[in-house]
Amino acid sequence: MVTAGALLGRLLPRWERHRPADGLSFDASTARATLAAVAGGMITLVGFVVTAIALVVQTVTGVSNPQAVRRLRALLDRLAARPDRQGLGGAAAGETLDD
């Protein structure tokens, strides 16, 4: 399987050079639009995550369980303090209240 992948990696670019350039063409404006769409999607996702965390905090504080509030606050403090997991990255990577 690895040999087939290596062989295709060497032969396909040579084969594509000899084909006519029909179909889609990509230029700088296409790349710019694609990156803008990806960045917009990431910003939207971060907004949803922050909203979900705010709802969890409201729910936990509404229950009046001091232990749960302390555990959630400790988790958020640990996430903010880790340089390798900026912001909410730890929560997205599967960090739980028991970690």
CB burial of 82-97 (b: ≥16 within 10 Å; e: otherwise) equals eeebeebebbeeebee
Quick: pLDDT tens for 13-67: 888 777 766 666 778 888 899 999 999 999 999 999 999 998 888 887 776 667 7
Distance, in Å, from the CA atom of 51 to the CA atom of 85, rounded to the nearest integer, reads 19
Quick: pLDDT tens for 66-84: 777 788 788 888 887 766 6
